[in-house]
């Protein structure tokens, strides 16, 4: 669910950084990274049940 939200934003964030909208791109990448970390923690917990 988090990944579905993050993937479309990823391309937009990358485009924003190249287009000069750096702040929006950085915020987007922070959201993406946090989502991936949370997903990784969740998967790790699932595996180690």
Domain that holds residue 18: 2-47
List pLDDT tens digits, range 4-40: 444 555 555 445 445 555 666 677 788 889 999 999 9
pLDDT for 40 equals: 92
pLDDT for 28 equals: 78
Domain total for the chain? Answer: 1
* Burial classification of residue 13, based on how many CB atoms lie within 10 Å of its CB (0-12 exposed, 13-18 middle, 19 or more buried): buried
pLDDT for 16 equals: 47
pLDDT for 31 equals: 87
pLDDT exceeds 60 at position 3: no
In the block, residue with structure tokens 């990448």: 29
10 is written with which tokens? 């990823």
């Amino acid at each position: 669910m988090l990944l579905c939200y993050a993937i479309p934003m990823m391309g937009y964030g990358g485009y924003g950084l190249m287009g000069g909208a750096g702040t929006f791109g950085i915020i987007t990448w922070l959201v993406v990274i946090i989502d991936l970390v949370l997903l990784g923690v969740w998967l790790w917990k699932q595996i180690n049940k």
